[in-house]
Amino acid sequence: MQISYHGHSVVKIETNGTTIIIDPFINGNGQTDLIVENENPNVILLTHGHNDHVGDTVELSKKNNALVVAPNELADYLGWQGCNVHNMHIGGAWQFEFGKVKFTQAFHGSSYVTENNEIIYTGMPAGILFTAEGKTIYHAGDTALFGDMELIGKRHPIDVAFLPIGDNFTMGPEDAAYAVSLLKPKIVVPIHYNTFPPIEQDPYEFAKLVEGAEVQILSAGESVKL
């Protein structure tokens, strides 16, 4: 399994011949190394409906006939746009051929803004637990700190956790470091920072606050060292 980070909240997982992209915000993402035309995912996993997470999902899904796995209302909306979707929701899990996907709660919002400045409600935001090849990856999506992260960690031993540290819209470094103490992952990777002025953070300051886990600060295109 190869797990790589591509700026903002974009994570790519390659496992058993399947390429999975989580929250493929590429166009408009000044932190990414990816180019939409060069990406050929088989599966897209989405945490919630905000534009900086849905990103280029529709184009990527249609171009590659990629399966989009998303919370129910967001999956419905993307299905109406012509995407091949699998609807799920918080607390639910499904064993796909490429791995097991389970959605967890997240404390945030979820809506999609159209070109006509319409706000489309896309249900509840979520985090994602992905398990394959004996490894469990937790992508928290956009979220505040919440106490049931401890329950997530107890129920699902986590090898790699991707946690937002940008503050303003999500957890900041202090809360994210506390989240690590609840989740108890082996490795934590900070995400969702420095893309826009309101979420500018120093990931090395976050790393100083973390106890009990290895912090890997990745530039776009770098892979997690398992």
Share above pLDDT 70 across residues of the chain, in percent, rounded to a whole number: 100
**Average pLDDT of 91-119?**
97
**Domain extents in the chain:** 2-215
Model confidence band, residue 80 (pLDDT cutoffs 50, 70, 90)? very high
**Average pLDDT of 16-33?**
97
Model confidence band, residue 91 (pLDDT cutoffs 50, 70, 90)? very high
Single-letter residue type at 138: Y
Distance CA 197, CA 202 (A): 12
Q: What is the pTM of this model?
A: 0.98
Q: Which residues share a beta bridge with 43?
A: 20, 67
Choices 1.20.1560.10, 3.40.640.10, 3.40.630.40, 3.60.15.10: CATH for 2-215:
3.60.15.10
Amino acid 59: pLDDT: 98
Tens of pLDDT along 137-194?
999 999 999 999 999 999 999 999 999 999 999 999 999 999 999 999 999 999 999 9
Please report the DSSP string for 9-55 in residue order: T-EEEEETTEEEEES---TT-TT----GGG---SEEE-S---HHHHT
Amino acid 23: pLDDT: 99
Q: Which residues share a beta bridge with 164?
A: 191
